[in-house]
Structure 1
């Protein structure tokens, strides 16, 4: 007998979200780890809120929603709220009831400077890594470090001379547009500056030819995001306004134990590596190893690592390398060099899945907090497979 295609409304409906989620869904294990980590941070979160007044949205729900946004590659909080309105999986992960109203997207804006900060993101990462099931996966002795460029939310049109910025769009249209030079990398980068090879649109979309003109981050700045820097990581690549993200990975399971984001520069990677080591192992006297590419093959950096009782498993430059046979003759050096390439995977995940190919935030503090949270989500995405193994 053929069934009817009619919809009959019901006065009551009983929906148990827990029963609707498959038992083997990977988000089940991720949510369990996140819930345990948030319970461990209960005292830290409680200090951020006043003891009286109108109750806020639960901060744990906001943190879960932010992680879910990154895990699901959702571009904005507005789209996240649209998904949460009808997606039962999203409601279950955030622990929002089936009849609960969704939030106004500006809730995240209000909490970005109080709850969704770099400090809280680092504490969430540490709490997840200290989880009773995750901690046995980590190595305490062998690490790798690397950096990547994160494109800023600012166009080349905004890169203007500091002492002579372009006229505002509300100025007299008869005023001639100022010219802006191409910028060279800062912080003693090894790449050479290049002249601008094509015209770029400026004031009121007028074309200005910048051929042969030069500039630097010392004389120019972005009017959209002053914290962004013009930088290129290799001689063959084009320069762009960007930040530089950094991560410290333990070599056993490939999980990131420290993350940071700084202004782009030739020495930024090495400075960030030292800072992350100090944060991860403050005052440690254990013999550690740190693998890195040849961009870290600097005499000052290697000497500081040795002073910190860290063996520099750094790739050798073709000429004038500071890494000699004292390090390369050991079989552990070759193992570290093979293992360090796995650190590229979290960067690729953060850019393709986590939305960090180009940040949608302005200001280094907000971009750093978002980058750290993206690395936390990357660790979470790896956990179901690692814990199952």
Structure 2
């Protein structure tokens, strides 16, 4: 038969436990086991005043931010509402049913203030990486690097063409925070100093963002989120925000490799990346540090007219010359110079030439240099490192590395689809860096929770 109508009845006393109402298989239970915030107060001690009203617990703010980034809650106002209503969120944030949730404005004051000044978010991220290393998820032998475009909080309607933009006319005293950060990063390799080429448009609200059409669609303002991962389990070991140009993204690789060496004593045997990182200087930098570059070579020496390319010529390092398929030598210098300044410098691009008489009499001239009197070949400073990368590309290990590189792309897909980081909320280089650090921290915590889930406990009858 039909049961009685359910009606809410008020009671004078309730016995309620958050612990009993959070499912044992909830993701936050597994994540909570790996969140170590014991050192936050010590880390922030010098950034708080000794007088005045007590502040909101910084550990509570960090836990709420982790909830927001782990579950794709992009709005801080909505995050406060969700923590207020969701019992699992309250349990993770150590809030009882009667505890008030902080106001959303508290996040802005702390993110732009003491959290940024103390580099707390970098400290939080590195603490998570340390835990991943302790759990055996990071060996440091094989690492992969890549970058992904994240749309900035800027639009073309509030921008200036490069012909009219002049940063010297900006008064830092009256400029917004994002503009002041832009002025402070003009000499940094990841932003202003990465390239002398000015973007087509510069945003007024976030001038450090890059106007780009790299997605082969409508152009937009963006930042590049650079990930350095360990390919064993896809753990992010470092993250860096840069302008969305190749020079800045490649330059961030050196910064991150140096940092993981200093912070975690990790020095990879190989680095895996795509062709954008296969430039001569980058390959030379890696080879010099005994890091095997599993990277396709960025090479424009190929020809489209069917004639012999540089790859068809054999390099004779002992005699500093190229040997053509017909057995003739192409040399850079054919006599000794008494003045050392006129001889080879070992820097820049060297030109190797064959003798005109030899080429004119050669039966393969039509395949070699049909439109020139003699064949010329250029050799860059880091050509030896390029050859190292070409030799690696012929191995079985290189094929495996190209498959492992997809782990970085999967992390970026997860970042945008699951965590919802398709567009930034914070402006300026520091704002982009803060969001990227929090997102990478959330991804590592979710990785730990997936591999080491919380043990299931049977409920008592």
Q: TM-score, normalised by structure 1?
A: 0.80
SS in 2 for 1:98: coil
RMSD over aligned Cα atoms: 2.7
Establish whether residue 155 from structure 1 lines up as the match of residue 145 from structure 2: no
SS in 1 for 2:84: helix
1:4-63: per-residue Cα shift (whole Å, max 9, x none)? Answer: 4221101122221111111222211101211xx211444213333233432211111101
SS in 2 for 1:38: coil
**Who is 1:335 aligned against?**
400
**Who is 1:22 aligned against?**
23
Establish whether residue 223 from structure 1 lines up as the match of residue 204 from structure 2: yes
Higher alpha-carbon deviation: 7-16 or 108-117: 108-117
**Who is 2:423 aligned against?**
358
**Who is 2:459 aligned against?**
none
Return the alpha-carbon distance in structure 1 between the equivalents of residues 399 and 41 of structure 2. Answer: 43
**Who is 2:53 aligned against?**
54
**Who is 2:109 aligned against?**
110
CA contact (8 A) 1:133 1:387 kept: no
Cα separation, partners in 2 of 1:358 and 1:6, compared to 1, 3 Å: same
Map 1:47-196 → 2, pairs under 5 A: 47-117=46-116, 119-131=119-131, 135-161=135-161, 164=164
**Who is 2:44 aligned against?**
45
Return the alpha-carbon distance in structure 2 between the equivalents of residues 129 and 388 of structure 1. Answer: 18
SS in 1 for 2:246: coil
Question: Which residue of the other structure, out of 247, 252, 257, is the alignment partner of 1:277?
Answer: 257
Alpha-carbon offset, residue 149 of structure 1: 0.7
SS in 2 for 1:51: coil
SS in 1 for 2:435: helix
Aligned length: 340
Establish whether residue 260 from structure 1 lines up as the match of residue 249 from structure 2: no
Higher alpha-carbon deviation: 154-163 or 363-372: 154-163
Question: Which of structure 1's runs of 4+ aligned residues deviate more than 4 A?
Answer: 162-165, 186-189, 283-287, 317-321
Please list every run of 5 or more consecutive structure 2 residues that lacks an aligned counterpart in the other structure.
Answer: 166-192, 302-382, 455-461
1:126-184: per-residue Cα shift (whole Å, max 9, x none)? Answer: 1112227854111221100000111111111122136747xxxxxxxxxxxxxxxxxxx
Cα separation, partners in 2 of 1:31 and 1:285, compared to 1, 3 Å: closer
Establish whether residue 315 from structure 1 lines up as the match of residue 296 from structure 2: yes
Return the alpha-carbon distance in structure 2 between the equivalents of residues 248 and 274 of structure 1. Answer: 10
Cα separation, partners in 2 of 1:293 and 1:260, compared to 1, 3 Å: same
Q: TM-score, normalised by structure 2?
A: 0.68
SS in 1 for 2:147: strand
Alpha-carbon offset, residue 72 of structure 1: 1.7
**Who is 1:289 aligned against?**
270
Return the alpha-carbon distance in structure 1 between the equivalents of residues 78 and 53 of structure 2. Answer: 27
Return the alpha-carbon distance in structure 2 between the equivalents of residues 310 and 115 of structure 1. Answer: 38
CA contact (8 A) 2:64 2:83 kept: no
Return the alpha-carbon distance in structure 2 between the equivalents of residues 384 and 309 of structure 1. Answer: 34
Return the alpha-carbon distance in structure 1 between the equivalents of residues 27 and 200 of structure 2. Answer: 50
Return the alpha-carbon distance in structure 1 between the equivalents of residues 223 and 406 of structure 2. Answer: 22
